[in-house]
Chains A and B, each alone.
Chain A
Amino acid sequence: MSSFPPTTIGAENAPPFLRLIGMRKTYPGVLALAGFDLEVRPGEVIGLVGENGAGKSTVMKILGGVAEPDSGSIEIDGVGYNALTVGGAMRAGIAFVHQELNLFDNLDVAANVFIGREPSRFGPLHLVDARRQREAVRPLLERLGANFGPDASVARLSLAQQQLVEIAKALSLNSRLVILDEPTSSLPLAETEKLLEVISALKAQGIAVIFISHRLHEVVAACDRVVVLRDGRMAGTLVGDEIEHDRMVQLMVGRELKVAYVPPAATAGEVALAARGVRTGTYPFQDVSLELRKGEVLGLAGLVGAGRTEFARVLFGIDRRHGGVIELEGRPLTLASAADAVRDGIFLVPEDRKGSGLLLDFPICENISLPNLGAYARSSIVLQEAERAQAERSRAELAIRAPGVGTRTGSLSGGNQQKVVLAKWLAMRPKVMIFDEPTRGIDIGAKSEIYRLMRQLADAGVAVLMISSDMEEVIGVSDRVAVMHEGSISGILPREQATEENILRLAVGKAAA
């Protein structure tokens, strides 16, 4: 990877064409950006790094014209704006290559590059001039060193080639800045090298690149300058030789932790759930081994895409396991479906609360009774009074704020919806509770209530596994922290060693200090 020496064509002497000054952005309950500055010069490759939730995606949204900053200004070619619009960002020459590509895989490369602005012929007939389209795309692909033509079908291209199509699209729009969001997270190594070559090709043509990545060694290889974000602020800038893995990690950590740890009532008991060599569909060649004890809260940290959610889905029987053994109290489990997991007392509070956790159109009481409806029925007929009675108990116990248990669940706030998901499982007898990002999008009050409930569960002898990308939460709530990196456990830290720095090192694939 040392074959890409950071060249400096115009990077230092040219004036910046894009400036973010004092960007501030809050979301309900979250301060996403707290005064962030950034300058972009032509032909400069800027690395943007930071933990999950440090504010990277907010910067992106502001540059893309999707989010409006609360204060601060954006200067493009010396003209100041309060906020960009999507069209304005495009006209300013800002192009995005998102992690999830936005391509039509039923069309060919040229059609994708020109989607929505196809060259037409035969005047009023507006037939697509496919030939002109192809001829316009061919030189773009050549500039990027693509090994496929404009008439290739997108569906047959590899992920890396599809990224090139997106970049070609950016070139065809005469973009001056291409923002690559985690472009390498799903690429194999060889293709990653190819992408880094493409970045230097863009640079050589005077196009600026913002490279967002969790893979710090790629940042080291590709960038002229690295901006480290922490808590919505710039934690530091590294230039040239200063760009080193360890220095970036040092700048990323060190945030203020606000969640107060509550120790368990007793030491953790015997092993409740054991995963031995479990493989998921996303990482079929990596395996996960983990033991979860009764009475403990085990945090599962890692970067987005490390395979944590996939692991949880396997534990809950939603996804088929590609190998390995899962044991509950020493007994191996089949787990052919979530129904099996529920029968065994393994419950999951899923990441996607609205899509998977709840039926938003159902009233609260029907959501709570759903996994265990048989218990509220006599000879298969549902006893609605029994359902409502349980729902009333749950509502009091979890302090669910709603007009009544007949209220449509979709009309509740995020925190109260999450409590309904919890109530579903607490009304049964959990042995293992898995929480996947339990407090995402929830206000601070409801957050601490959910932490308290987790601790209560653990103290009642339940084994709790909490997947979280929120560092504060992982450190503040867990008794132990397991860290995943690219499909397997890279380390398990006892509470005393579960520092931000150690977790982050393990998350990016290095050994803990």
Chain B
Amino acid sequence: MQKKDFGLLVLILVVGAVVAAINPRFLSPINIANTANLVGLFGIFSIGQAFVIMTAGIELSVGSMIALLGVIFVDLIANRGVPWPLALMLVIFLGLLMGMAHGLLITKLRLQPFVVTLCGLLIYRGVGRFYTKDATAGFPFGVSFPDLEFLTTGRTDFVSLLTGGNVQSIAFPHSFMFMLLLAGVMWVVLHRSVFGRHLFAVGKNEEAARYSGIRTHRVIIAAYVISAVLTSIAAIFLAMYTRSISPASHGNFYELYAIAAAVLGGFSLRGGEGSIIGVVLGTILLQVLQNLVNLLGIPSSLNFAVMGSVILLGVIIDQQFSLYRERRRTLEAARQIAAAKQPAE
């Protein structure tokens, strides 16, 4: 765990402790389970966003993608009788194509990521609304998919399961568990794999990465594909969670939650910096803050204001810290160079 991640963890614990002290309901099993569910849902696409931000890019179409893919998924299984595993694969494949398109436009046509994904945001939202004729997509009365629902919205109390129901603990939502599993896999991909190293290199200095023989375009495209695929998985989880999707508002601003989580988690929008643990912790902090607004009786209209202030504060503190570290490093380097020269003379 990096120092930065540790700092964020401490911050979460401090905020959690304060909230719990004021309102003990914060630690009630049901509140923890509900918050964990949201952390799971938002975490999935935030991890995706993190890969894009690593390349110094940005993905603004997350929320619209979630709305469009959500209505398509619901329509396929509820109205068109497509078996859900097939529909799931179709939706993920669609997401993959979108990510591929973004990546190709950004690398091969050299368009700016902001512009490409902003257009994605507008296009997917529009297509989603057109797809349902602006109506709400939902499941007809009596239609249910027990397997799919168990996988996506189910909750399992492991302690209870192991003790045969004698001891009750918290029933953790499957979305959260999936997100943890995903984070584990993506941690290996980003921090241990060849691709991950290339991603750091491309994000830090694309020119130097190219001069090292890395196929930088492929790396960047892969980042957008990863982001889009994770977003489409999140779209399915969210569709099953909300059960009805009004395409004009579903997923609004979700890209901003993802970007905020990554920035809180130590990612730099200039690329080449950040960790998976960081973005997961960032997601947790955002959800705890939302929860805090509800539990402390702060008017919910202030929700975004609270989130914005905390992020701003966090970024300022982090900035000051790294300036301090930078200064120390420069001094250290100067000392080393001076020391290296000594014996030569």
Residues on A facing B (Cβ under 8 Å): 316, 318, 337-339, 341-343, 348, 350, 355-362, 366, 370-371, 373-374, 377, 380-382, 401, 403, 408, 410-413, 416, 424, 443, 445
Closest to B191 in A: A382
Docked pose: A408 CA to B211 CA in angstroms: 19
Q: How far is the CA of A362 from the CA of B344 in the complex (A)?
A: 27
Q: Mark B188-206, 1 if CB is under 8 A from A, else 0.
A: 1000111101101100110
Q: Is the CB of B210 within 8 A of A382?
A: no
Distance between B264 CB and nearest chain A CB, rounded to angstroms? 21
**B188 and A424 contact, CB distance less than 8 A:** no
A361-B272, A410-B333, A413-B337 known; A382 vs B193 contact (CB < 8 Å): yes
Q: What residues of B have a CB within 8 angstroms of the CB of A381 in the complex?
A: 188, 192-194
Nearest-neighbor residue (CB-CB) of A349 within chain B: B211
CB within 8 Å for A413 and B208 given contacts A362-B201, A366-B197, A380-B193:
no
- Once the chains are docked, how many angstroms separate the CA of A342 from the CA of B214? 9
Interface residue from B194, B205, B212 paired with A377 (Cβ < 8 Å)? B194
Q: In the assembly, what is the distance between CA of A357 and CA of B201, in Å?
A: 12
Tell me, in angstroms, the Cα distance from A270 to B272 when the chains sit together: 43
Q: Is the pair B204, A359 in contact by a Cβ cutoff of 8 Å?
A: yes
| A445/B344 contact (C-beta < 8 A), A381-B188, A382-B193 known | yes
Q: Are A338 and B194 CB-contacts (below 8 A) given A362-B201, A411-B332?
A: no
List, in ascending order, chain A residues with CB within 8 A of B313's CB.
Answer: none
Q: Which of A350, A359, A377 contacts B209 (CB 8 A)?
A: A359
In the complex, A29 Cα to B299 Cα: how many Å? Answer: 67
Interface residues on B, range: 20 to 34
Report yes or no: B333 in contact with A338, Cβ–Cβ below 8 A: no
Query: Which of A356, A377, A416 is within 8 Å of B211, CB to CB?
Result: A356
Q: Which of B299-345 contact A (CB under 8 A)?
A: 329, 332-333, 336-337, 340, 344
The reply to whether B197 and A373 form a contact with Cβ atoms under 8 Å apart is yes
Which residues from chain B contact A362 at a C-beta distance below 8 Å?
Answer: 200-201, 204
Please determine whether A358 and B195 come into contact, CB atoms closer than 8 angstroms: no
Q: How far is the CB of A313 from the nearest CB of chain B, in Å?
A: 9
**Nearest Cβ in chain A — how far from B274, in angstroms?**
13
Known: A337-B215, A359-B204, A371-B214. 14 other contacts (CB 8 A): A339-B213, A339-B214, A348-B211, A350-B211, A355-B207, A356-B207, A361-B204, A361-B272, A362-B200, A370-B201, A373-B197, A377-B193, A401-B340, A408-B329
Q: Which residues of A contact B340 (CB under 8 A)?
A: 401, 413, 416
Please, which residue of chain A has its CB at the minimum distance from the CB of B332?
A411
Residue of A nearest to B344 (CB): A445
Q: How far is the CB of B182 from chain A (nearest CB, A)?
A: 18
A253 → chain B closest CB, angstroms: 31
Chain B min CB distance to A510 (Å): 35
Q: Is the CB of B213 within 8 A of A359?
A: no
Measured between beta carbons, the chain B residues less than 8 angstroms from A408 are 329
What does DSSP make chain B's interface, helix, strand, loop or mixed?
A: helix
Interface contact B192-A341, CB-CB below 8 Å:
no
Closest Cβ–Cβ distance, residue A448 to chain B (whole Å):
12
The contact sample of 24 A-B pairs, CB cut-off 8 A, is A338-B210, A338-B212, A338-B213, A339-B213, A339-B214, A342-B213, A348-B211, A356-B207, A356-B208, A359-B204, A359-B205, A359-B208, A362-B201, A362-B204, A366-B197, A371-B214, A381-B192, A381-B194, A382-B197, A411-B332, A412-B336, A413-B340, A443-B344, A445-B344
Check B194–A382 contact: CB distance below 8 A.
Answer: yes
- Contact in complex: A373, B329 (CB < 8 Å): no
Q: What is the CA–CA distance of A401 and B210 in the complex, to the nearest angstrom? A: 26
B192 touches A338 (CB 8 A): no
- Rounded to whole Å, the gap between the CB of A409 and the closest CB of chain B is 10
Contact in complex: B210, A318 (CB < 8 Å): yes
Chain A residues within an 8 Å CB radius of B344:
443, 445
Contacts A381-B188, A413-B340; A424 near B201 (Cβ below 8 A):
no
Contacts of A356 in B (CB 8 A): 207-208, 211
Question: Which chain A residues border B337 with CB–CB below 8 Å?
Answer: 413
Q: List chain B residues, Cβ under 8 A from A445.
A: 344
- Contacting residue for A411 out of B201, B212, B329, CB 8 A: B329
Query: Which residues of A have CB within 8 Å of B205?
Result: 355, 359-360
CB distance from B288 to the nearest CB of A (A): 32
**Which of chain A's residues have a CB closer than 8 A to the CB of B214?**
339, 370-371
| A362 to B214 alpha-carbon distance, docked (Å) | 15
Chain B neighbourhood of A424, CB < 8 A = 212
Q: In the complex the two chains form, what is the Cα distance from A380 to B199 in whole Å?
A: 14
Contact B194 A357, beta carbon cutoff 8 Å: no
Q: Which residues of B contact A337 (CB under 8 A)?
A: 210, 215
For B213, what are the chain A residues with a Cβ–Cβ distance below 8 Å? Answer: 338-339, 341-343, 371
Closest beta carbon of chain B to A355's beta carbon, Å: 6
Task: Please give, as numbers and ranges, the residues of chain B lying within 8 Å of A380 by CB-CB distance.
Answer: 193-195
Tell me the complex Cα distance, A389–B210, Å.
Answer: 25
Which A residues lie within 8 Å of B333 (CB)? 410-411
- B189 — nearest CB in chain A belongs to which residue? A380
Whether the pair A411, B336 counts as a contact (CB closer than 8 A) is yes
B229 to chain A, nearest CB (A): 18
Q: In the complex, A413→B341 CA distance in Å?
A: 10
A374 to B197, CA, bound (A): 11
Could you give, for residues 212-232 of chain B, a 1 whenever the CB lies within 8 Å of some chain A CB and a 0 otherwise? Answer: 111100000000000000000
Residue of A339, A412, A443 with most partner-chain B CB within 10 A: A339
A357 close to B336 (CB less than 8 A):
no
Query: How many angstroms between the C-alpha atoms of A410 and B212 in the bound complex?
Result: 17
Q: Which residues of B contact A360 (CB under 8 A)?
A: 205
CB-based contact A358/B194 at 8 Å: no
Nearest first, the 7 closest Cβ-Cβ pairs linking A and B are A342-B213, A411-B333, A371-B212, A356-B211, A370-B212, A371-B213, A339-B213
With known contacts A362-B204, A373-B198, A377-B194, A338–B336 Cβ distance under 8 A: no
- Rounded to whole angstroms, the CA-CA distance of A371 and B213 in the bound complex is 6
How far is A381 from B200 in the complex, measured between Cα atoms in Å?
A: 15
CA distance A371 to B194 in the complex (A): 11
Contact status of A359 and B210, CB under 8 A, knowing A374-B194, A410-B333, A413-B340: no
> Does the CB pair B209–A373 fall under 8 Å?
no
| Residue in chain B with minimal CB distance to A379 | B193
Which residues of chain B are within 8 angstroms of A339 by Cβ–Cβ distance?
213-215
* B residues near A413, Cβ cutoff 8 Å: 337, 340
Given contacts A370-B201, A413-B340, are A355 and B208 in contact (CB under 8 A)? yes
State A359–B210 Cα separation when bound (angstroms): 11
Q: Which of B152-207 touch A at CB < 8 Å?
A: 188, 192-195, 197-198, 200-201, 204-205, 207
Task: Give the residues from 256 to 277 in chain B that come closer than 8 angstroms, CB to CB, to chain A.
Answer: 272
Closest chain-B Cβ to A319's Cβ sits at a distance in Å of 11
Asked if A357 and B188 make an inter-chain contact with CB atoms under 8 angstroms apart, the answer reads: no
CB distance from B337 to the nearest CB of A (A): 5
CB proximity of B9 to chain A, nearest CB, Å: 24
User: How long is the Cα–Cα vector from A370 to B205 in the complex, in angstroms?
Assistant: 13
Cα–Cα, bound, A412→B336 (Å): 8
In the complex, chain B residues whose CB is within 8 Å of the CB of A416 = 340
Give the Cβ gap from A209 to chain B, nearest Cβ, in Å: 37
Query: Nearest Cβ in chain B — how far from A193, in angstroms?
Result: 38
Compute how far the CA of A424 lies from the CA of B214 in the bound complex, rounded to whole angstroms. 13
Contacts of B194 in A (CB 8 A): 373-374, 377, 380-382
